[in-house]
């Protein structure tokens, strides 16, 4: 099972492949804003990928429409393929 680490929260857990980073964060007790409920509509669930960009599914149209550039992804749209290290992105 892939390992997810939220570096800024100092939390690591195993999550099933195919699970979104938002779902993993909730399972791990990491607070990630998601105003739209995780539908990819609001863009508030941004995370910064520290390591393992290639261990996530490719960016979705919801992400490319919002013009998110690496290392940022929407946690509700990013599904696990392998191990990743991420941080909760601060939205300014």
pLDDT tens for each residue of 20-74: 999 999 999 999 999 999 999 888 999 999 999 999 999 999 888 888 889 999 9
pLDDT above 70: residue 92 = no
What domain count does the chain have? 1
Instruction: Return the CATH number at 44.
Output: 3.10.20.30
Q: Residue 56's domain spans which residues?
A: 3-88
Give the ranges where the chain is alpha helix by DSSP (H).
21-28, 61-65
Residue in this structure with the two tokens 């990928």, named with its chain if needed: 49
pLDDT of residue 15: 97
Phi, psi dihedrals of residue 72, rounded to the nearest 5°: -95, 145
pLDDT above 70: residue 91 = no
């Amino acid at each position: 099972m892939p390992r997810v680490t939220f570096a800024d929260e100092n939390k690591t857990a195993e999550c099933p492949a195919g699970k979104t980073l938002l779902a993993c964060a909730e399972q791990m007790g990491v607070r990630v804003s998601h105003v739209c409920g995780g539908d990819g509509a609001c863009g508030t669930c941004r995370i910064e990928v520290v390591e393992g960009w290639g261990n996530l599914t490719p960016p979705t149209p919801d992400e490319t429409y919002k013009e998110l550039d690496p290392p940022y992804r929407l946690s509700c749209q990013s599904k696990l393929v392998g191990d990743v290290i991420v941080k909760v992105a601060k939205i300014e």
